[in-house]
A = this chain, B = another copy of it.
């Protein structure tokens, strides 16, 4: 029987029972964190070899003879481009290797577009009514960047196939709409992968803005948590069919392959965009850290080894997903929540009874369980239905994750019961 089907007495009784358990849990003074997509120590240890790699034994020179201790190789070592090309399935010639952060490369690309425009376009700062498409629920840091640059953020719902493309196409007919954020594989937080039809429609659609850009953040390209991972269509190949390769800026990093904050980031782009990136970034820096690139190529050697490594990482993530999902299953049949069962990536997306996500967050927080703030998965941090929560289950230990999810389940039920009782009153 769902909560909605229960009578008022039964709901009150259930609420009292759950509150008593909740208060006991709360009294334990826990301190658990499900808020950010961070690997745990076990995952990190899988690449500890990167830390102690003796670089000098093989010399600090790149394959092309570049002394990685000195200036040079401005847009990246050729073997690093090759490795990234194998990871993302793209032509190494399209790749510009950056520093440690793909988010920073996205921010930089937007900052340049703001001040100088993209090739052939006007600076976006000259478009006071500029707008940006955000797939919801989505990644808070993406939304924050475009908010910072003064874009009006337009929400488009995520569907199992990717963004609702009818809405995206309608919005792209407005010349003030300059682009869209995409996490196309194991999307943050819903965990689904865009279908080929969706990818095709993104590159095929008419955009009123000739300088429209797809920010393609393939953060979880090789982050399968199941034997048979999802397959993402090759956006550059499809874009080529429609002559829209300039529309795509493709970002990635090894942050969740090697070390978060200690990895290597990249942007891949059409020849025209790449020429612009090289020219502009050439004013900004003499070059990024090649020594870290050298470590990564010496350690991983090739894409096959990366995939072997990602199988081990995926197993760690799967374990955590399973623990969280087992606990969340206590919500099944209550009619107050639904949650994703992701095949990869880092997150579980939980929809609670509309109007209760903030209350769930607060109940968890007061019991020592930190969630990503309710609303974070929406532009401006405002979930219009106040229902979505993003769970990041990788960081805590298995025991902590179990304890935290139990409290979360309690909080979801309590908040729902409170809401149902209040609306009936």
Contacts and interface: CB of A to CB of B under 8 A. Distances in A.
A83 B266 CA distance: 30
Contact of A107 (B36, B44, B285): B285
Nearest to A262: B291
A247 to B, nearest CB: 24
Contacts of A41: 67
Given A99-B100, A101-B286, A286-B260, A36 B71 contact: yes
A154 B421 CA distance: 71
A303 interface: no
Interface residues on A, range: 35 or more
A39 interface: yes
A325 to B, nearest CB: 24
Interface string A61-74: 00000011111100
A285 to B, nearest CB: 4
A283 B48 contact: no
A196 to B, nearest CB: 31
Given A101-B286, A115-B114, A286-B260, A39 B70 contact: yes
Interface stretch (A49-57, A179-187, A268-276, A334-342): A49-57
Interface stretch (A141-149, A208-216, A406-414): A141-149
A339 B381 CA distance: 60
Contacts of A261: 70-72, 286-291
Contacts of A259: 69-70, 291
Interface string A170-185: 0000000000000000
Contact of A115 (B44, B125, B290): B125
Given A60-B51, A115-B114, A285 B104 contact: yes
Contact of A68 (B52, B262, B285, B289): B262
Contacts of A55: 51-52
A29 to B, nearest CB: 20
A266 to B, nearest CB: 15
A18 interface: no
Interface in A271-303: 280, 283-292
Contact of A262 (B39, B125, B290): B290
A239 B72 CA distance: 37
A111 interface: yes
A285 B39 CA distance: 18
A103 interface: yes
A240 to B, nearest CB: 31
Nearest to A279: B148
B286 A141 contact: yes
A406 B101 CA distance: 46
A201 interface: no
Given A51-B291, A52-B54, A99-B288, 15 more contacts: A41-B67, A44-B70, A47-B69, A52-B55, A52-B57, A69-B260, A71-B260, A72-B261, A111-B111, A114-B115, A115-B125, A148-B283, A261-B287, A261-B288, A262-B289
27 contacts: A36-B71, A38-B71, A47-B69, A48-B56, A48-B60, A51-B55, A51-B69, A51-B291, A52-B54, A68-B262, A69-B260, A99-B99, A99-B100, A100-B288, A101-B285, A101-B287, A103-B284, A108-B284, A115-B115, A115-B149, A125-B125, A141-B283, A141-B286, A259-B291, A260-B286, A261-B291, A291-B292
